[in-house]
């Protein structure tokens, strides 16, 4: 037999190993197989993380007595071998004197390959036995991990929810926040886009795993029993995910609540394993600390779910109003994150976030209404479908714009009121961070919602200032049906680059202007050539395909002063700066007088909402231009209509949280105060 040649690796020193328990764990792993992420060495490290959290992390412990803690309706009993795997009804087997109500949850992508499911016709069979040969690779390896770490019960959605029972599915979906909240830990098959990939990945453990080297302590006679110093090292050459990119699992909408609700997660992330809990995070590169995925908005939501204080009312804040706004801002960012993820069934739009919402409802006195919060409803209404990339998902192309299951921007069967972001099937954005600083200029008189976690109806009644007009919409790429209806007005797939749209030899960005007419266009055959059209300063983002001859009622929701210092691109917000007004576009339902549905979102810059163009010449970077490079004079170009007549100035100062002075409008704007009901 040829002599065994020792492996060599380049390594970096991680410092003196002073943690006795971790030192003992590393010593044990050095003699174990470490050829894949489910190897004895890898799971020994996972066991160290888990046991340390359970024993020492006060923040990670629930406050309820163990015998009263939530358990799911069903779990999978993994037993000691594959012959014992079966479905368990916890009301029958995990009650009474049974001391072990602990369970583990699995977070995974279903993928394109069909996985085993519990159905009405195999339910009784699964209660007796689940054939291990029918389990996907991910399920088999999750079962192995659960057993190895000393647990008997595993919650898997496809097995613990009767998939062809709408009643059972809704009942279990309503408890989803508790499933992940009360699981001892969650196994995340992060790198696997489907069940056929599995949790474990082969790797060279020497390259991926930390190790230590014992060095004799200088000047000490070791015959007296003094131990050698242990120096920890981490190898170079390990495989890492691209910077800033998440594994496939974190590109799925359903998984967001699993990320945010789980107090502990054991993450199988390609060639290495990771750990995250409420108190620490670790990886094989940095076992006792490393980069956490829970940063920014995720950290705020996660803390809100776990803390005992009111999510929207932090007692230690000097400015309670801004604190509320900031907490709501975290929710808005969560919505952007969530809607930019992939979802196999668009009809799950509302229910797949229900777990997080229910967890937060328990930590605040405010009402959750169809994806929005009633006390910040005015701000929650300011979502839109962007023309350009405003939010970059951490998982590349997580939302599939070409998905055949998502042919329309609106749901075939409505799942939410039109004023909710859940009423559309595509990614949405909020004006972030602007939404932190805008001021409410409408009055929310009432909001009501009814329905189930997956489908809700409701209305909101708003008193505010309205204007009417017509828009020749430029459609975001996400509204795919616009390519057939109005191909010349469909905007290409957003890439994050500045792109221009051409109208009557003028080139402009739809983020700076929209094509507007205060009166109905007369030329119905050649809409684009109708003389009534002009360019309005601001942006219009439709929610759906609209006939250009459809009258739209705009209602003002919020505004702020917004200007620019001369010669600079820095935005200012002085009280004498021009006004930017944030509105939503409505059309009548035709059922009841004063009842509307939402069809889009518009921002009106430079006081254009009030019928003026204040400070327009001092806003660099927002000009329109001819192809040859001609730049317009805003007050003279015929595309903007005639120069306003009558009162030529108006007051840019205003009072927050109330309706503006109606006298502040140009007469030509024809603004009026009214009450609208939006459904």
Phi, psi at residue 595, to the nearest 5°?
Answer: -105, 130
The residue to which tokens 């500045």 are assigned: 498
Q: Where are the domains of the chain?
A: 11-289, 320-678
Highest mean pLDDT among 317-326, 340-349, 376-385: 376-385
* Radius of gyration (C-alpha) of the chain in whole angstroms: 29
Higher pLDDT, 3 or 424: 424
Please state which of the ranges 151-155, 223-227, 463-467 shows the lowest mean pLDDT: 223-227
Percent of the chain with pLDDT over 90: 56
Among 359, 285, 294, 370, which residue's Cα sits nearest to residue 333? 294
Q: Report the pLDDT value the prediction gives residue 677, as an integer from 0 to 100.
A: 98
Query: With the C-alpha atoms ordered 418, 356, 336, 372, is the resulting torsion angle positive or negative?
Result: positive
Q: Report the pLDDT value the prediction gives residue 340, as an integer from 0 to 100.
A: 93
Is the pLDDT at 582 greater than 50? The verdict is: yes
pTM of the full predicted structure? 0.88
DSSP 478-525: T-TTHHHH-GGGBPPPP-SS---EEETTEEE-TTTEEEEESS--S-SS
Is the pLDDT at 99 greater than 50? The verdict is: yes
Within 482-630, strands assigned E span: 501-503, 506-508, 513-517, 534-542, 552-561, 563-564, 571-572, 579-588, 595-604, 625-626
Q: How far apart are CA 120 and CA 168, in angstroms?
A: 10
Q: Report the pLDDT value the prediction gives residue 442, as an integer from 0 to 100.
A: 98
Please state which of the ranges 291-295, 337-341, 549-553, 653-657 shows the lowest mean pLDDT: 291-295
Beta bridge partners of 234: 12
**DSSP summary character for residue 410:** B
Q: Report the pLDDT value the prediction gives residue 548, as an integer from 0 to 100.
A: 92
Confidence of residue 210 (pLDDT cuts 50, 70, 90): confident
Q: Report the pLDDT value the prediction gives residue 634, as an integer from 0 to 100.
A: 39
């Amino acid at each position: 037999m040829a002599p065994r040649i020792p492996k060599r690796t380049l390594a970096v020193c991680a410092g003196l190993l002073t943690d006795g328990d971790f030192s003992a764990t590393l010593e044990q792993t050095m003699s174990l197989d470490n050829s894949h992420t489910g190897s004895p060495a890898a799971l020994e490290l996972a066991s160290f993380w888990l046991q340390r959290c359970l024993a020492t992390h006060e923040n990670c412990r629930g406050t309820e007595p163990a015998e009263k803690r939530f358990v799911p309706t069903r779990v999978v009993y993994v037993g000691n071998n594959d012959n014992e795997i079966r479905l368990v009804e916890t009301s029958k087997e995990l009650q009474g004197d049974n001391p072990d109500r602990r369970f583990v949850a699995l977070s995974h992508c279903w993928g394109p390959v069909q996985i085993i499911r519990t159905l009405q016709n195999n339910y009784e069979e699964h209660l007796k036995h689940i054939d291990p040969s029918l389990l996907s690779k991910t399920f088999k390896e999750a079962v192995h991990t659960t057993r190895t770490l000393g647990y008997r019960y595993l919650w898997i959605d496809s097995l613990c929810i009767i998939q062809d029972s709408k009643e059972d599915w809704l009942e279990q979906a309503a408890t989803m926040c508790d499933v992940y909240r009360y699981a001892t830990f969650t196994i995340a098959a992060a790198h696997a886009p489907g069940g056929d990939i599995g949790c474990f990945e082969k790797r060279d453990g020497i390259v991926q795993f930390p190790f230590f080297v014992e060095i004799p302590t200088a000047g000490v006679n070791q015959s007296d029993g003094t131990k050698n110093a242990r120096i920890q090292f981490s190898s170079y050459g390990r495989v890492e995910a691209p910077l800033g990119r998440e594994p496939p699992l974190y590109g799925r909408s359903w998984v967001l609540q699993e990320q945010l609700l789980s107090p502990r997660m054991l993450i199988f992330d390609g060639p290495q394993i990771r750990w995250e809990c409420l108190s620490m995070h670790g990886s094989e590169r940095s076992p006792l600390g490393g980069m956490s995925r829970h940063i920014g908005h995720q950290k705020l939501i996660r803390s809100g779910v776990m803390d005992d204080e009111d999510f929207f009312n932090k007692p230690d804040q000097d400015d309670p109003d801004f604190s509320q706004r900031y907490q709501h801002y975290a929710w808005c960012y969560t919505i952007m994150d969530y809607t930019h993820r992939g979802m196999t069934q668009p009809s799950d739009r509302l229910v797949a976030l229900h777990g997080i919402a229910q967890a937060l409802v328990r930590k605040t006195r405010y009402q959750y209404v169809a994806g929005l919060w009633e006390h910040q409803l005015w701000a929650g209404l300011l979502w839109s479908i962007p023309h350009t990339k405003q939010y970059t998902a951490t998982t590349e192309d997580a939302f599939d714009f070409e998905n055949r299951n998502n042919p329309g921007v609106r749901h075939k069967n409505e799942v939410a009121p039109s004023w909710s972001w859940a009423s559309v099937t595509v990614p949405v954005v909020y004006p972030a961070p602007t939404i932190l600083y805008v001021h409410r200029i409408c009055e929310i008189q009432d909001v009501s919602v009814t329905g189930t976690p997956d489908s809700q109806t409701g209305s909101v009644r708003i008193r505010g200032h309205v204007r009417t007009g017509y828009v020749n919409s430029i459609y975001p790429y996400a509204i795919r049906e616009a390519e057939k209806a109005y191909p010349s007005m469909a905007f290409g797939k957003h890439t994050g680059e500045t792109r221009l749209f051409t109208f009557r030899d003028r080139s402009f960005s739809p983020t700076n202007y929209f094509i507007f007419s205060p009166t109905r266009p007369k030329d119905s055959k050649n809409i684009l050539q109708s003389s009534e059209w002009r360019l309005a300063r601001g942006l219009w983002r439709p929610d759906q395909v609209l006939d250009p001859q459809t009258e739209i009622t705009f209602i003002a929701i919020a505004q702020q002063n917004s200007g620019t210092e001369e010669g600079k691109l820095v935005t200012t917000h002085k009280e004498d700066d021009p006004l930017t007004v944030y509105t939503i576009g409505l059309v009548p339902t035709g059922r009841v007088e004063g009842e509307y549905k939402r069809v889009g979102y518009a921002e009106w810059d430079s006081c254009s909402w009030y019928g003026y163009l204040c400070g327009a010449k001092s806003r660099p970077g927002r000009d329109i231009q001819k192809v040859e490079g001609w730049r317009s004079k805003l007050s003279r170009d015929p595309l903007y209509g005639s120069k306003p007549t009558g009162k030529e100035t108006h007051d840019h100062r205003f009072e927050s949280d109330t309706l503006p002075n109606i006298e502040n409008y140009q007469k030509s704007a024809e603004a009026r105060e009214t009450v609208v009901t939006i459904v």
